[in-house]
Amino acid sequence: MTMRLLGILVLSLALFYYADAQTRGTVRLVRNGVFSYTYSSGIVQIFYSTSSSSLLRWGNICDDASFGDNEASVICNQLAYDGASVYGRAGSTVSFGTDNSATILDEVSCSSSSLLTLEQCSVTTIISSTCSLNSNDAYVICYTTRIWNNPYPGQIRLVGGIHTSYGRLEVYCNGLWGTVCDDSFDPTDAKVVCRQLGYSDSILAHSGAVTAGSTSQPIWLDRVFCSSSYSCLATCESCPAMQYHNCIHSKDVAVACEFDSTETASSNILSTCSTASTSGTTNTTPGIVGLILGVVAVVGTILT
């Protein structure tokens, strides 16, 4: 318990504005070299390191012989879209212009289109000579439906940031998206959140001014306590029948997820946690019971 409290203290001392930041493995789509969080199609970039440097930077992914339907769909899944409809080489279309960033990943190969992030795929940072051409940069056109459009109880998402690897943590319970209180929420809990989303590691950032949910949103979970072996948040705590908390929205949890080669990659796929929604316990220890009185209005810059 002492180590858990120490972890919470360290995280509390490390508060920072994260909404415009990116973590290792963050993906985005660009057109004519310009990024917008509204894009559901474009040339793919990933925030990664090269084979010769540990410095993280944005770079392209090569559309080589291994790049196909699975790889394109996993990229769209990571961007929170429901798979890819089209993929190809930037040189084969004028739709997205030219991106002069260097190629940073090659030989991307994903075993399934149901994987959640590129961290779950095999990649190399050793770039073949043919992939040095901008015309070989991979582009994707994602379906515009979000992967949370038909949510299951216990499904989670990160909203409010410009990248899908960071945002306010929301959980779907009782037909509504609600938030999670930061009371006792520590690095182990954050890692479980990121594992559910297909990442191996996490950075927790709590900043109410940046990430607080709407006052009309329910706060579904409070005093979450996860085991380090869990892969779904619902295994830690299941959806309550109603709100049980003594929390306020300025304490809504925000999480940043990242790829970490020293950690075991998540084995989750799109459907993994849909069967975990009733396996966790429900924490009813806080003394204030909040009732849901209206329809929630979900806000967040990446929801458009």
Instruction: Give the pLDDT score at 272.
Output: 97
pLDDT at 143 > cutoff 90: yes
Same domain flag for 152 and 299? yes
CA distance 224 to 236: 7
Same domain flag for 215 and 265? yes
User: How much is the average pLDDT of 263-280?
Assistant: 86
Instruction: Give the pLDDT score at 208.
Output: 63
Same domain flag for 172 and 287? yes
Tell me the pairing of strands 57-61 and 103-109.
parallel
Q: Quick one: what percent of the chain has pLDDT higher than 70?
A: 82
Q: Quick one: what percent of the chain has pLDDT higher than 90?
A: 72
Q: Has residue 288 been placed in a domain? A: yes
Q: With b meaning 16 or more CB within 10 Å and e meaning fewer, what string describes 153-165? A: bbbbbbbbbbbbb
**Averaged pLDDT of the chain:** 86
Same domain flag for 45 and 173? no
User: How much is the average pLDDT of 150-172?
Assistant: 95
pLDDT at 60 > cutoff 80: yes
CA distance 30 to 77: 17
68: CATH: 3.10.250.10
pLDDT at 49 > cutoff 80: yes
Q: Tokens 């001392």 sit at which residue?
A: 13
Neighbours of 295 (CB within 10 A): 8
DSSP assignment of 256-304 equals EEE--TTSPPP--BTTGGGG-TTTSB----SS-EE---S------GGG-
Instruction: Give the pLDDT score at 211.
Output: 72
> Which of 142, 164, 192 is the last residue in one of the domains?
142
Cα angle 22, 177, 292 (rounded to 5 degrees) comes to 145
Q: Has residue 48 been placed in a domain? A: yes
Q: Has residue 8 been placed in a domain? A: no
Which residues 6+ apart lie within 8 Å of 3 measured at CB?
none
User: How much is the average pLDDT of 61-66?
Assistant: 96
User: How much is the average pLDDT of 205-220?
Assistant: 77
Q: Has residue 98 been placed in a domain? A: yes
Same domain flag for 296 and 153? yes
Q: What is the pTM of this model?
A: 0.85
The range of the structural domain enclosing residue 254 comes to 148-303
Q: Has residue 12 been placed in a domain? A: no
Q: Has residue 5 been placed in a domain? A: no
pLDDT at 281 > cutoff 70: no
Instruction: Give the pLDDT score at 286.
Output: 45
Same domain flag for 48 and 164? no
Instruction: Give the pLDDT score at 277.
Output: 59
Q: Has residue 177 been placed in a domain? A: yes
> Which of 107, 142, 177 is the last residue in one of the domains?
142
Query: Is residue 231 packed enough to be buried (19+ CB in 10 Å), middle (13-18) or exposed (0-12)?
Result: middle
User: Which range (183-187, 192-196, 279-283) has the least confidence?
Assistant: 279-283
Q: Has residue 249 been placed in a domain? A: yes
Same domain flag for 124 and 164? no
Same domain flag for 190 and 297? yes
More confident residue, 162 or 11: 162
Overall number of domains in the chain: 2
Same domain flag for 161 and 294? yes
Q: Are 224 and 283 in contact (CB under 8 A)?
A: yes
DSSP assignment of 138-191 equals EEEEE-SSBTTSS--TT-EEEEESSSTTEEEEEEEETTEEEEEB-TT--HHHHH
Same domain flag for 192 and 260? yes
Same domain flag for 202 and 289? yes
Which residues 6+ apart lie within 8 Å of 140 measured at CB?
29, 41, 42, 44, 72, 75, 76, 84, 86, 87
> Which of 142, 160, 180 is the last residue in one of the domains?
142
- pLDDT band for position 225 (50/70/90)? very high
Q: What share of the chain is helix, strand, coil (3-state, %, to 5)?
A: 20, 30, 50
Instruction: Give the pLDDT score at 204.
Output: 65
Instruction: Give the pLDDT score at 67.
Output: 97
User: Which range (84-98, 175-189, 204-218, 276-290) has the least confidence?
Assistant: 276-290
pLDDT at 163 > cutoff 70: yes
Same domain flag for 48 and 89? yes
